Amino acid sequence: MARNVRKEIKQPDAFQTAGARGMAWLESHAALILAAGAAVLLAGAAAWGWRYWSAKTQEKAAISYMLAQEAKGPQEVEALRRTALAYPKTRAGILARLELAEKLREGGQLPGAEQEYRILLGSSAAVPMDQELAQRGLASVLEAQGKCPEAIAIWREILGRGSLVSQEDLYLAIAGCQEKAGSLQEAAKTLEEFS
């Protein structure tokens, strides 16, 4: 019986057999394993590189926006425009464009302000609040240009979707525009709707 135990001990067990098979498989697929490892490393390096580049771009955009806000007068408008053009997909670039459009509107440059608001509305980087602010600004510019029906349509769209800011000023703006257009009954209905 002692001889049988010795023979069994000398024979490879399940662990040794599985290990030998695993090593044989690794040796036969070494090129594939190396290629897969290199691909994983390359993908990791690319992801790290993209995150690093994105963070640096955000940082540069924030600095550019901050410097634009420090400028005064026409230099401020140009600095905001440069920031908005150079960094259109960043948070700072979106804020710079919103501020640029507002400055142009305040300065009476209504076509320029309208263009900036429309660019913002077409931006995929703008968050819902940015979109609403751009819509409100665009409607104000359109009203100032005497395009009340277009402005009212935008204000109504915001009301229909649910305003993120407030609804009171939208009703008052709609009623004011309707009054300017001579639709006093429509203005009264809007104010009734508001109340």
pLDDT digits (tens, 9 = 90+) for 36-48: 888 888 888 888 8
Which structure tokens are listed for 121? 């509305």
Q: What are phi and psi of 88, to 5 degrees?
A: -65, -25
CB 145 within 8 A of CB 164: no
Number of H helices, E strands in the chain: 10, 0
Alpha-carbon separation of residue 37 from 31, 32, 43, 44 (angstroms):
10, 9, 10, 11
Decide: pTM greater than 0.75: no
Per-residue pLDDT at 119: 92
Alpha-carbon separation of residue 24 from 2, 21, 27, 29, 59 (angstroms):
33, 5, 5, 9, 51
How many CB atoms are located within 10 Å of the residue 101 CB?
27
Query: pLDDT under 50 in the chain at which residues?
Result: none
Alpha-carbon separation of residue 83 from 8, 65, 114 (angstroms):
79, 6, 18
Per-residue pLDDT at 5: 61
Cα–Cα dist 60/55, whole Å: 9
